[in-house]
Amino acid sequence: MKNLVTLILASILSNFPCDASAVEIMQSSALDSFPNPPADHVIAYGEEALQFGELRLPAGPGPHPVMVLIHGGCWLAEYDLSYFRKLAAAFTAEGIATWTIEYRRVGDPGGGWPGTFDDVANGTDHLAELAGQFKLDLNRVLVAGHSAGGHLAIWLGNRPEQWPQRVQPVSVLALAPAADLVYLHREKVCADVVEGLMGGSPQQFPQRYQLASGTARLPLPIPQYIVIGKHDESWAPVGHRYVESALQLGQSPTVIVAAESGHFEMIDPDTSTWPLVLKAAKSALQIN
């Protein structure tokens, strides 16, 4: 099976030929210049300061399909949802309501295990409280995230039973997902942030990693779209590991290798990667 998986991935990549020297890859510093369009509503889903979401509503009477957006930043407190506002506004302009969740992260009081997971679960489920007032279609909910947020989106796609589910997403859109926590712990990414996220190593807390890692939550019961930047040297290998794990379990995620993307182009509506991301979101929500 592993050889077959390798061949499938090689076939996927071969469909996206691109000369790396001809592509100027976006750096994280570019996020500082992203605009911060205001949300229509900023709404608390809990009592802690970081337990809130930003709701943006498209034109029209609704009910609106809705996308739960989860920002990345290595699960670290220093990176908040501000860099996701440009992306959220772009999706909303395309007719999709967006609910961008803030959550406690490593370095925040209550962040890490299990608070980070509590927050994204409770934040998503808060849509049940908002649906009537804001004409949201809970039968068309897409969970989406970038990098660490991509991991959390996958986790929401098959969350463990100890996080009871009030809102059932129809699909997952994971952009450059940091989905394999055991691998990332071994690689000591982001100054060994996974140790802080999980409160220890996979050897110390195997059950936690089984409940939290994206690969451990496979197989997902809903369709998933995985976007991987062809030139994302740091995080693309993690995405491919996740896809390989899914294929080995007989799943068929829709894999989009963005030929002109590193880690960040896929979250910028002004890049050539945006049409690929938008098409995936509309396909997931069955929007023509």
Domain that holds residue 51: 2-284
H-helix or E-strand spanning residue 254: strand 254-258
The rounded Cα 149 to chain-centroid distance in angstroms is 4
* pLDDT (tens digit per residue) in 68-90: 999 999 999 999 999 999 999 99
CB 151 within 8 A of CB 145: yes
| pLDDT exceeds 90 at position 199 | yes
More confident residue, 121 or 26: 121
User: Which CATH number characterizes residue 17's domain?
Assistant: 3.40.50.1820
* pLDDT (tens digit per residue) in 130-141: 999 999 999 999
| pLDDT exceeds 70 at position 13 | no
Q: What confidence category does residue 22 fall into, taking pLDDT thresholds of 50, 70 and 90?
A: low
Q: What is the pLDDT of residue 1?
A: 33
| pLDDT exceeds 70 at position 211 | yes
Helix, coil or strand: residue 17? coil
Domain count, the chain: 1
Write down the residue that tokens 């986790």 correspond to: 155
Whether the model clears a pTM of 0.85, i.e. scores above it, the answer is: yes
DSSP assignment of 112-144, as one string? STTHHHHHHHHHHHTHHHHHHHHTEEEEEEEEE
Helix, coil or strand: residue 229? strand
When pLDDT is averaged across residues 207-220 and rounded to a whole number, the result is 97
Percent of the chain with pLDDT over 90: 88
H-helix or E-strand spanning residue 237: helix 236-248
